[in-house]
Amino acid sequence: MAVRKYHLTFTPENVSEPVTYRLVKEFDVMINILRAEVDEAGGRLMIAMEGSGIQIERAIRYLEASHVQVQELKEFIRKDDSRCTNCGACVSICPVKAFVMDGRTFKVAFLNEKCIACGMCVDACPPGAIRLRAQV
């Protein structure tokens, strides 16, 4: 089973469609909503989708046929190791523990697969070593 993260963009016309319900019910994929935003211009949704490659492929085709823009997200945060002072501010603020301090080297490591692109680490980083690459 694969887990992939996607940024979905909805128009005002399709924002009220039960898309996540259909993904689960009709395509048998598991959905975890990481971030969501809806306003008069439409909506943006960041999801983690879990299923077989074929299931995910079919689900993506359904979304695109429903006029939902789909962008696969592979990297949310970029950590500039040359600027990082390993202060640990990102470790203490990250709600999903995507940043961890190595107890042997006292260096901060970033675990991309856990990241939900909330941006809290960007604001907390004193030397500005962390940048948000994907925004909802």
User: Residues 95-117: pLDDT tens digits?
Assistant: 989 999 999 999 999 998 888 87
CB 55 within 8 A of CB 23: no
**Domain 77-132, CATH number (from 2.40.128.20, 3.60.40.10, 3.30.70.20, 3.40.50.261):** 3.30.70.20
Residue 31, token pair as written in the block = 């959905």
Q: How far apart are CA 99 and CA 110, in angstroms?
A: 5
Q: Does domain 2-73 have CATH number 3.30.70.260?
A: yes
Task: Report phi then psi at 2, rounded to 5.
Answer: -100, 150
Answer yes or no: same fold for 2-73 and 77-132: yes
Report the pLDDT value the prediction gives residue 135, as an integer from 0 to 100: 46
pTM given for the model: 0.70
Residue keyed to tokens 């492929």: 57
Contact 126, 71 (CB under 8 A): no
Chain Cα centroid distance, residue 132: 11
Provide the token pair at 133: 């690459």
pLDDT tens string 112-131: 888 887 788 999 999 999 98
pLDDT higher than threshold 50 for residue 136: no
Q: Where are the domains of the chain?
A: 2-73, 77-132
Residue 31 is given by DSSP the state E
Of all residues in the chain, what percent are helix, strand and coil, respectively (each to 5)?
Answer: 25, 35, 40
pLDDT of residue 134: 52
Q: Which pLDDT does position 22 carry in this prediction?
A: 94
